[in-house]
Structure 1
Amino acid sequence: MRPRYWNAFYHGPAAADGERWSGPGVGRRVGRNRSRREESAVASTVPVAATAPAHDRRLVLSGVLFGCGIAGSVIDLFVFHLLLQWHHFYDLSTPTVALVADGLFHGVTWLLTVWGLFMFAAVRRATAIPWGRWAGAVLVGVGFFQLFDGVVHHKILGIHQIRYGVDLFVYDLVWIGSAILMLVVGLVVLWRTPRLAAVAPPDADRRG
């Protein structure tokens, strides 16, 4: 003969014709369900606060990578290498080597661009994005790349110059000066914009 709480246990309270749930099996099941709900509620709130700094770091890194990639693949390669034809990435050898070096340089910089975009998309799926903060990180990336190129590639290694047959002082001054300006502006924007920990998640308006 089935116990009184048989129908309530397997088919829900409605199948028990108003009978009160009872029995050790039901008590254990209700307790487990309540415990799972409490654990789920805690898990839904703790990771948000715990991962916010990580999301912020990934957002800034994605902007820096994207900025470096754009500076190399668009500003440097397309404008100075292809459009103006002022220099190649490596000008210390034959034209064939210079073109091969440009191709490798193009591939690396586009890899940085795509990597930054994928990282940005992952953060955007997880939380709301403060666009000003990301724009500041992009400026930091562009400024850092241009500064590294102007100082290391042009002056220290000497693998290429901005332009040949001209007085380089003005060109170097404009190149390095604009790079420092973009880098400083980007850092100021990052400093003045709120971190992701202080930004509401994407569905905050719907929950409110």
Structure 2
Amino acid sequence: MALNKQHDGPLVAAGIALGVGLGGFVDGILFHHCCSGTKCSARLPPDTLVAMKVNMMWDGLFHVLTWLMTVVGIALLWRAGGREDVPWRGRTLVGGLSLGWGLFNFVEGLVDHQLLGIHHVHPGAHELAWDLGFLGSGLLCIALGIALVCPARR
């Protein structure tokens, strides 16, 4: 990825941090809570009050980390916006967001779903297909982000 580091780097960094944070929020809210498909610590079946509290604690810590990444992204965006040498391009920011979201999906999917087996996108039948789809969505977001950020594409 050929970045013009003197100009685009701060905006791309802000986008990546925001993308990781927002990607984590969507994952946590949509999959962990709304769809109830998974919890951060799904190895503990929520059949006792203690197990439910442990699961809620891990989900809460996950949300704290995604919130912190979002705050870092906002701070980086604020700094980039105050610099005259950083061109304000929506394409660059959206590319960074897509890169960050894709990195979140790919790393979280690879580590939590495949390597550690902590939880899966949709446990049960076709579990691997759901997990591979999640990894694929991460790679697709990364590819889109590179296409948007790469100066040769402008």
Q: TM-score, normalised by structure 2?
A: 0.85
Does 2:74 correspond to 1:122? no
What are the ranges of 5 or more consecutive residues in structure 1 without an aligned counterpart? Answer: 1-51, 196-208
Q: 2:139 maps to what in 1?
A: 180
Please give the alpha-carbon distance, in whole angstroms, between the structure 2 residues aligned to 1:180 and 1:109. Answer: 20
Write out per-residue CA displacement over residues 144-165 of structure 1, whole angstroms, 9 at most, x where no aligned residue: 1000111111000111111222
In the alignment, is the contact (CA less than 8 A) between 2:8 and 2:92 conserved in 1? no
Task: Give the letter aligned to residue 19 of structure 2.
Answer: G
Does 2:21 correspond to 1:69? yes
In the alignment, is the contact (CA less than 8 A) between 1:72 and 1:106 conserved in 2? yes
- Shift of residue 84 of structure 1? 0.5
Task: Give the letter aligned to residue 33 of structure 2.
Answer: L
2:42 counterpart SS class: coil
How many residues align? The count is: 143
- Shift of residue 54 of structure 1? 4.8
Write out per-residue CA displacement over residues 92-127 of structure 1, whole angstroms, 9 at most, x where no aligned residue: 232211100000000110110111011101111213
Identity across matched positions, percent: 29
Please give the alpha-carbon distance, in whole angstroms, between the structure 2 residues aligned to 1:119 and 1:192. Answer: 21
| Higher helix fraction (1 or 2) | 1
* Distance 1:95-1:119 versus aligned 2 partners, 3 A rule: same
In the alignment, is the contact (CA less than 8 A) between 1:144 and 1:179 conserved in 2? yes
Given the alignment, which residue of 112, 115, 124 partners 1:165?
Answer: 124
Please give the alpha-carbon distance, in whole angstroms, between the structure 2 residues aligned to 1:173 and 1:105. Answer: 22
Write out per-residue CA displacement over residues 53-107 of structure 1, whole angstroms, 9 at most, x where no aligned residue: 455322211110000000101x211100111010011222322111000000001
Q: Which has the higher contact order (CA 8 A, sep 6+)?
A: 2
Task: Give the letter aligned to residue 117 of structure 1.
Answer: I
In the alignment, is the contact (CA less than 8 A) between 2:99 and 2:146 conserved in 1? yes
Q: 1:38 maps to what in 2?
A: none
What are the ranges of 5 or more consecutive residues in structure 2 without an aligned counterpart? Answer: 45-50
Task: Give the letter aligned to residue 118 of structure 1.
Answer: A
In the alignment, is the contact (CA less than 8 A) between 1:132 and 1:193 conserved in 2? no
Tell me which stretches of 4 or more aligned residues in structure 1 moved more than 3 Å.
52-55, 192-195
Does 2:90 correspond to 1:131? yes
Q: TM-score, normalised by structure 1?
A: 0.64
Task: Give the letter aligned to residue 125 of structure 1.
Answer: G
Q: 1:91 maps to what in 2?
A: 42
> How big is the alpha-carbon RMSD for the aligned residues of Structure 1 and Structure 2?
1.9
- Shift of residue 173 of structure 1? 2.6
